Amino acid sequence: GSTPLSEIKSLIITASGGPFRKIPLSEFENISVENALAHPNWKMGKKVTIDSATMMNKGLEVIEAHWLFQKDFSHIKAVIHPQSIIHSLVEFADGSLLAQLSFPSMQLPILFAFSYPHHIDSELVKTDIFKLPELSFHKIEKSRYPLFFLACEVGKSGGLLPTIMNAANEAAVELFLNKKINFTEINTLVQNVVERENNLSSPDLETIIRTNKEIWEKVLSSYRELI
Tens of pLDDT along the chain (227 residues) come to 577 878 999 999 999 998 899 999 999 999 999 999 988 777 788 999 999 999 999 999 999 999 999 999 999 999 999 999 999 999 999 999 999 999 888 888 889 899 999 999 988 888 889 999 999 999 999 999 999 999 999 999 999 999 999 999 999 999 999 999 999 999 999 999 999 999 999 999 999 999 999 999 999 999 999 88
Residue 138 and residue 191 in one domain: no
Instruction: Using the 3D structure, point to which of 138, 153, 168 is the last residue of a domain.
Output: 153
Residue 144 and residue 195 in one domain: no
**What are residue 100's DSSP bridge partners?**
88
Q: What ranges make up the beta strands (E) of the chain?
A: 8-15, 76-80, 86-92, 97-101
Residue 42 and residue 147 in one domain: yes
CATH number for the domain harbouring residue 205: 1.10.1740.10
Give which of 174, 173, 169, 176 is closest to 148, Cα–Cα.
169
Q: Cβ(148)–Cβ(59) under 8 Å?
A: yes
- State the residue range of the domain holding 49: 1-153
Q: Cβ(197)–Cβ(214) under 8 Å?
A: no
Residue 61 and residue 142 in one domain: yes
Cis-peptide into 24, omega within 30 deg? no
Residue 80 and residue 136 in one domain: yes
Residue 128 and residue 196 in one domain: no
Instruction: Using the 3D structure, point to which of 99, 129, 153 is the last residue of a domain.
Output: 153
Residue 85 and residue 42 in one domain: yes
Residue 119 and residue 222 in one domain: no
Residue 63 and residue 24 in one domain: yes
Residue 47 and residue 110 in one domain: yes
Residue 15 and residue 46 in one domain: yes
Number of domains in the chain: 2
Instruction: Using the 3D structure, point to which of 134, 153, 172 is the last residue of a domain.
Output: 153
Q: From residue 82, how far is each of 17, 87, 225 by CA, in Å?
A: 6, 11, 36
